Structure formats: C-alpha cells, structure tokens
C-alpha cells in the first residue's frame, strides 16, 4: 500500500449528509473482479444525466473540483453497504483524503486499508471550511498525517485525531496481513483452546 505522510491537493466540496455507498458506487458496477477501474463510475448516478452527459449541477463536475484529491464531505459519509468498491472508486478517481464531521464505521475502516485517509473534524469547523471554500477564499489543503493537522492554502489550520495504530500503518504503507502473521503462534495457541461452540460441525 502507498504510504501517506503529507498530502497537498485541490479540494472538492460535497455538501450532502448521509451519502451512502450506493451513491458512491452504484451496484451495477460491483460486478468486476478486479480492484481497479472503478473511478470512472464514482457517483455515477449523480455525475451523469440519463443521457450519459455529465450533470453540470453535480459538485464534482464543477470547474474548481477538477483534479481534486481531497473531498470535503458532510456528516455520516459512507453509510450503508459495506462495499469496499466505494473506497476503490474514490481512490481510483484520485481522492487520497476525505474530510467529514463523521463517517460510517465500515467505510471508515475500508479507507485505511486502501491508503485513503478519512479525517474527522467538528461539524462547525467543517461548515466554516465549506463556507470559506464556497466563497473562494482557498482551493487546496495540505494534510499532515504525522502532525495530525490540515492547513488550507489561506492558512487556516485544523488539528485532527487519528487512531495511533491506523496512523502507523498508513504512514508506513504497511499491510495488515503481514503484521498479523507475526502473531501466528498466538493465533495457533488461541485455536487450541477454543470452546466447543466456536467450532463448525
């Protein structure tokens, strides 16, 4: 996995609450057996009109959002289906950071597994950022994972919390399975003392 230490990128604003993973990647695109190539279907039903033309009213189609790698979203982002395809689509499209006041749990975890950093900031700070972005006060953000702070290019800095384990894994681009296999002995030891009901008959 590609490490993420410090990332500067243009921002796209998505001011919608409860954006579910069905919207992020509609199910008709879940049938691929590969991990890549989902970016072109990101937010498909919102991004394109039924005619196949890009929807001019959709936030990601805005001029300023072109080339964005940071998504400023709203509360409960990524709710619904567990599909990791949602993160694959965001990442394949070019997003490396998603900022929101809250995320759904499974989506939040899936982000870290794919080198995408979900950043939780308070709702009022999010709203302030959204307002100043909309007023064209700034276009890009630098996300410094090491120091747990994000800084807009007009100089506003916002600290954020991150789970130390997840931070370590992401900073170093580590693979979870590799880490776990270091505990092979502990796992075997556990397996030897499982209770009767834990087994499948």
Please state, in angstroms and rounded to a whole number, the distance separating the CA atoms of residues 17 and 145: 25
- 128 in contact with other proteins (CB under 8 A): no
User: Residue 109 is encoded by which pair of tokens?
Assistant: 């975890």
Q: Which is nearer to other proteins, 69 or 110 (CB)?
A: 110
Q: What angle do CA 88, 138, 17 make, to 5 degrees?
A: 50
Stretch that binds other proteins, among 52-60, 62-70, 107-115, 150-158 (CB under 8 A): 107-115
Host H or E run for residue 127: helix 123-134
Q: Which is nearer to other proteins, 9 or 107 (CB)?
A: 107
User: Residue 62 is encoded by which pair of tokens?
Assistant: 């805005």
Please state, in angstroms and rounded to a whole number, the distance separating the CA atoms of residues 166 and 15: 27
Stretch that binds other proteins, among 5-13, 109-117, 141-149, 152-160 (CB under 8 A): 109-117
Binding mask 164-183 for other proteins (x = CB under 8 A): xx--x-------xx-xxx-x
Longest dimension (CA), the chain: 63
- 194 in contact with other proteins (CB under 8 A): yes
Q: Which is nearer to other proteins, 9 or 101 (CB)?
A: 101
Count of CB atoms situated within 10 Å of the CB of 108: 19
Among 45, 128, 139, 153, binds other proteins (CB under 8 A): 45
Please state, in angstroms and rounded to a whole number, the distance separating the CA atoms of residues 170 and 146: 10
Shortest distance (Å) from residue 113 CB to other proteins: 4
- 134 in contact with other proteins (CB under 8 A): no
């Amino acid at each position: 996995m590609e490490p993420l230490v410090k990332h500067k990128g243009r921002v796209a604003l998505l001011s919608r609450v409860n954006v579910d993973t069905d919207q992020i990647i509609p199910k008709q695109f879940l049938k691929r057996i590969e991990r890549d190539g989902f970016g072109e279907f990101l937010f498909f039903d919102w991004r394109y009109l039924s005619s196949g033309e890009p929807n001019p009213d959709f936030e990601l189609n805005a001029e300023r959002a072109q080339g964005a790698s940071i998504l400023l979203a709203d509360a409960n982002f990524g709710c619904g289906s567990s599909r990791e395809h949602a993160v694959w689509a965001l990442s394949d499209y070019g997003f490396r950071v998603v900022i929101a006041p809250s995320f759904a749990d499974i989506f939040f975890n899936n982000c870290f597994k794919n080198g995408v950093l979900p950043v939780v900031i308070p709702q009022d700070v999010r709203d302030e950022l959204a307002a100043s972005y909309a007023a064209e006060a700034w276009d890009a953000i630098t996300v410094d994972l090491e120091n747990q702070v994000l800084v807009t290019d007009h100089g506003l800095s916002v600290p954020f919390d991150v789970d130390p384990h997840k931070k370590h894994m992401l900073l170093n681009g580590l693979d979870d399975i590799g880490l776990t296999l270091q505990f092979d002995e502990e796992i075997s030891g556990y397996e030897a003392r499982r209770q009767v009901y834990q087994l499948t008959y």
